Amino acid sequence: MKRLLYLLFVPLSFTACKKDTEPEVDAATRLAGTYQLSYALLDDKTNPKLESPLPVTLGGVTVASGTLVVTRKNENAVDGNLVIKVQGSPDMNVTFQNVEVKKNAAMYDLYLGPTKIGSADGTNLDVDATQTNPQTNVATRLAFKAKKE
């Protein structure tokens, strides 16, 4: 009888130890999603600098807020659409295309061409980018902090 139990127990113990492995999720998939802005800065040196925590609420009404939607382009690149809403003004839309995502320890660095513009960890995303208009030679800085919903 002991021998019979032993013969049943040995095969069961091997099947119980089988490990399930989950496929590795690529960097762009980790970052894809909708983020709510908690801070925004816009500075073009020709107009007053706009800098504020977000959302802005007055009398229980949200008067300024921002959302960033990040979509996976491929395993190492994302696109982004930033919308900042201010009550009484047209929405400000900024599109980022082909942002390269590079793994850096537990974080991801974000690049537009050779320039690092930010970092993310899959939940929080920070961007600080400056672009110069070739026609006016005016540099515009856009910075924001956001958290995934």
As a whole number of angstroms, the distance between CA 117 and CA 119 comes to 7
As a whole number of angstroms, the distance between CA 87 and CA 148 comes to 23
pLDDT of residue 4: 41
16 has pLDDT over 60: no
- The enclosing H or E element of 114 equals none
As a whole number of angstroms, the distance between CA 86 and CA 55 comes to 10
As a whole number of angstroms, the distance between CA 122 and CA 26 comes to 11
Span 17-75, pLDDT tens digits = 555 666 778 999 999 999 999 999 999 888 889 999 999 999 999 999 999 999 999 99
> Residue 15 — pLDDT band, cuts 50, 70, 90?
low
As a whole number of angstroms, the distance between CA 16 and CA 2 comes to 21
Q: Which residues have a Cβ under 8 Å from the Cβ of 57 and sit 6 or more positions away? A: 63
Q: Which residues pair with 95 in a beta bridge?
A: 81
pLDDT averaged over every residue in the chain: 88
As a whole number of angstroms, the distance between CA 35 and CA 56 comes to 16
> Residue 7 — pLDDT band, cuts 50, 70, 90?
very low
pLDDT of residue 18: 52
pLDDT of residue 106: 87
Alpha helices in the chain, H assignment, sequence order: 2-16, 27-31
Of 148, 147, 144, 119, residue with least CA distance to 53: 144
For the chain, percent of residues with pLDDT exceeding 90: 75
pLDDT of residue 47: 84
As a whole number of angstroms, the distance between CA 79 and CA 133 comes to 21
- Domains of the chain, start order: 32-148 (2.40.128)
> Residue 145 — pLDDT band, cuts 50, 70, 90?
very high
Span 128-139, pLDDT tens digits = 999 998 999 999
